[in-house]
Amino acid sequence: MSFFLDSLLAAFHLIVGFDAEVYVIARTSLQVSLVGSALASVTGVPAGLVIALTEFRGKRAVLLLLNTLMSLPTVVIGLLFYGLLSRQGPLGDLGILFTPAGVSLGLFVLALPLIANLSIAAVHGLDPRLALTCRALGATPLQQAWMIIKEARFAVVCAIVVGFGRVISEVGIAMMIGGNIKGFTRTLTTAIALETSKGEFELGLALGMFLLIIAFGVNGLLFLFQRAK
Amino acid sequence: MDAAYYLKDVVFAYDREPALRVESLVINPGELLALHGPNGSGKTTLLHLLAFVRTPQAGEIHFFQEKAEKSNLLAMRRRIGLLPQNPYLFHSSVMANVTWALRIRGVDRSTRRKRALQALEWVGLAGFEHRHARDLSGGEAQRVALARALVLEPDVLLLDEPASHMDRSSIRLVEEIVMQWNRSLGKTVVFSSHARIQDHALTPHRTLYVLYGRIAGQGSENIFPGRIIDSGTSFETNHMTFKLHHPITSGDYLTVDPSRIMVSTYMPMPRDAANAWRGRIVAMSEAGDRVRLEVDSGERFNVLLTREAYDRVRAVLGQTIWLRVPDDAMKVLS
């Protein structure tokens, strides 16, 4: 118990003492996660809206695919993109393997089906009278879509937050595409795995606490948004 | 054709089951039209087709001489105000709800506000503009939805069961607004009701009965459920038997056009004339340029009399009179 408490105390000192290594890792983690989840949000939310509001051939297949992709293991995405982005791969010329951009791309693919699926659920959860009301009031499809997002704003923000939570807490993609390069692609999760295996439990714990602080901050914002609603 | 609406061979189906079929329907500009019929008969579907928020699978709808097509649906919708039976209000303030449709039409902020305040005053909700939609009662929400439709100053106002969620005073207010909208401004108004039309202060120019997804007939306020008997020569209701001129094989309802019922203070000749009964006048009211009598003859009949016919009969409340239903005033529906 003393070991754990000592480690916790040391971790706390690393954070309040603005330990450079901890903050660089946290910044990298935030950077790749924000880019990945932002890209997934700007594509996933409209895609979810379109899928939810329109009828087309193969809609069920698309929903099935999105559901399947939601449970895709992160190491599989990492493996896939490792193959695609490596020098011999079809996207090798991009030169983004072992870079934050490569990690963001992998995280985008991880979050996209999740955000799209949750956006579909958000729209399906809306009152069916909403679309009819918008149409009756003379809204164009774009104006209608905007009002639907506004009315589903809490559920849509929830979808984005869940997507962000998924990408910031994953380890497989960051490890395989990022390569866990110190000061460049090392993220909170890959660093925790590495430092703990090296026996640097205090540092691992400090990084873990940082991850919790970020999760708390994001959920706090969501809570404030919900109250404002 | 000089009509607000002209519907021809219109079919609308939810999934594959047809919910409404309209062979032909003309609604005149400036007309106050009532759609009457039981719940689930197709009134709401018809109003949604008239509002162009649903598209029929077959047939044509013409709106002020223009055929409704995909390219002009939006423009047509913007000339119509629809008050749904159970309206949806956006999760925002009353003001935001009432002004949204103006905003998406590009109306400037000050005009939006001015028109919204005016519309809220019409529906008796002045001072409600800052209230949140979730804090309104059912009747208030319905009136906000009406203000949201009126603020657009539409050419056509469609009201789906306007009295269904309102208290008595709200109903009166809405009925007065609608009458004023129709009479003073000459706007076309179509409203639906499953209650008896005479329970409303609204006096329609015309009443259409919608039953089983079809327009059963004009002015068919007398709807009697029953069954065919005597090898198809009679229709038996709960309290009376109607003789049918032409034998038919099936039918669940018999409708009688109230404007075709003949009224007399004397027994019709011959004494055994078909479909003639004695009844007592239990209610009387004005219905535009006509007089409406409610006569209890076993079944309750609504009778619409011209002023001349009324003067001739000199009907008074409680008086016993004779009714005669001509063959062509009856229609059996299945």
Looking at per-residue confidence, does B329 or B108 come out higher?
Answer: B108
Instruction: Specify whether the CB–CB gap between B33 and B79 falls below 8 A.
Output: no
Interface contact A151, partner B, CB < 8 A: yes
Q: Does residue B40 carry a pLDDT above 70? A: yes
SS3 at position B104: coil
Residue B310: which of B292, B325, B283, B288 has the closest Cα?
B292
Contacts with B290 (C-beta within 8 Å, 6 or more apart), sequence order: B259, B304, B305, B306, B307, B310
B214 CA: distance to closest CA in chain A (Å): 23
Work out how many CB contacts closer than 8 A connect A with B: 45
Rounded distance, CA B321 to CA B284, Å? Answer: 13
Radius of gyration of chain A (CA): 20
Rounded distance, CA B309 to CA B315, Å? Answer: 9
Interface contact A227, partner B, CB < 8 A: no
Facing A139 at nearest CB: one of B80, B104, B148 = B104
Instruction: Specify whether the CB–CB gap between A131 and A148 falls below 8 A.
Output: yes
Residues A132, B48: C-beta atoms closer than 8 Å:
yes
Read off φ and ψ for residue B201, nearest 5 degrees: -80, -20
What DSSP string describes B37-93?
A: --TTSSHHHHHHHHTTSS--SEEEEEETTEE--GGGHHHHHTTEEEE-SS----SSB
Q: How far apart are the first and last CA of chain A?
A: 44
Rounded distance, CA B107 to CA B105, Å? Answer: 6
B150-205 pLDDT, tens digit per residue, is 999 999 999 998 877 777 778 888 888 888 889 889 999 999 987 654 455 677 78
Residues B87, A133: C-beta atoms closer than 8 Å:
yes
Which pLDDT does position A164 carry in this prediction?
A: 94
Rounded distance, CA B204 to CA B216, Å? Answer: 17
Residues A140, B104: C-beta atoms closer than 8 Å:
yes
B228-241 pLDDT, tens digit per residue, is 999 889 999 988 99
Question: Which residues in chain B are closer than 8 Å to A136, comparing Cβ atoms?
Answer: 51, 53, 77, 80, 82, 84
Out of A43-52, A148-157, B75-84, B289-298, least confident range: B289-298
Residues A136, B152: C-beta atoms closer than 8 Å:
no
Interface contact A170, partner B, CB < 8 A: no
B265-282 pLDDT, tens digit per residue, is 887 777 667 899 999 999
Facing B78 at nearest CB: one of A133, A138, A147 = A138
